[in-house]
Amino acid sequence: MSDPRPRGRPKAFHDKTEQNTVQSLDRAMGLLRLLSERNGLTLSELAAESGQAPATVYRVLTTLQGHDMVEIEEPGQLWHVGAGTFRIGTAFLRRTKVAERARGPMQALMRATGETANLGVESQDQVLFLAQVETHEAIRAFFPPGTLSPMHVSGIGKALLAWYPEPRVRAIIARQGLTGFTSLSLTTEASLLRDLARTRERGFAVDDQEKAEGMRCVAAPVFNGYGEPVAGLSVSGPAFRIGLSDAARIGALVRAAADEVTEAIGGVRG
């Protein structure tokens, strides 16, 4: 009998006190997060936003630059996320076969609707966008891979929540709250639960300008082999092109695309 594989974590795994964290690595991750949220930052801006000394920030940046994790743009001395972060990030997509299997259905969905198709999963009570197939229209929705969005104001988020057990939904609400972004955001538990019930009845979710005024999204869940929602497909675009009267037609197309991905990964529709 072969020896078991070595453990992947120490006994103190659940101890997140400062003595069990690497401070320099924590600083580096914080800087990468700041860079991922902005279109370039100077050394001074990074120091100010991170609360660290410029000399410390510079040492971290030069270390990350040596691993191709960040790069500097000349002129302007603007620091950006580097190609190395993308190469590492794609390991997550390789692990998540739904991203690979969804590519074809997403492309077909974009062609059928003329709008941008998106793929997302839940990550720490938020929607994490994994992939996007953009429309050729000049005015379009844009959710670059890695973008996070609150679940209650996202088509994909509501498509997942609608098939989650209610206790799980209530727990996410308790942890994340229901922040209002527009006058149409669902900011009470009762209103969100009613919307999720309607979503289950029709088979797809609608984000009616709930995160951004003038933008609508129609989404449906992808299920695993246990009938659990593990991802969501959506079509998003400006409200003047996606009217509420179009929701049923687009919803049927999104639902069919999501079911195709479910079948491709060996899933069972919930």
- CATH code at position 27: 1.10.10.10
Tally the domains of the chain. Answer: 2
Contacts of 125 (CB under 8 A, 6+ apart): 151, 172, 175, 176
Query: What is the extent of the structural domain holding 109?
Result: 92-264
Using the 3D structure, point to which of 61, 85, 109 is the last residue of a domain: 85
92 pLDDT above the threshold of 50: yes
| Residues 72 and 164 occupy one common structural domain | no
Tell whether the torsion through CA atoms of 245, 247, 250 and 251 is positive or negative: negative
Q: For residue 10, give the 3-state DSSP assignment.
A: coil
CA distance 38 to 34: 7
CA angle 152, 153, 154 (to 5 degrees): 95
Residue type, 256: A
Q: Please tell me the least confidently modeled range out of 101-105, 126-130, 142-146, 188-192.
A: 142-146
Given the structure tokens 């992947």, which residue do they identify? Answer: 8
| pTM for the structure as a whole | 0.70
Least confident segment among 1-10, 74-83, 214-223, 225-234: 1-10
Same domain, 199 and 244: yes
pLDDT tens per residue across span 195-210: 999 999 999 999 999 9
Which residue among 57, 85, 113 closes a domain? 85
Q: Do 180 and 239 sit in the same domain of this protein?
A: yes
Q: Which of 85, 116, 137 is the last residue of a domain?
A: 85
What does the pLDDT look like over 26-82, one tens digit per residue?
889 999 989 988 888 999 999 999 999 999 999 999 999 999 889 998 777 899 988
d(CA 227, CA 268): 5
Residue 269 belongs to a domain: no
**Matching residue, tokens 């072969």:** 2
* Rounded distance between C-alpha atoms, residue 15 and residue 17, angstroms: 6
Kindly report the CATH number assigned to the domain that includes residue 237: 3.30.450.40
The DSSP secondary-structure symbol of 186 reads -
Domain membership of residue 9 (yes or no) is: no
Helices 97-113 and 247-264: angle between axes, nearest 10 degrees:
150
Q: For residues 195 and 217, what is the distance between their CA atoms, to the nearest angstrom?
A: 14
Nearest to 133 by CA among 114, 149, 157: 114
Residue 231 belongs to what H/E stretch?
A: strand 229-238
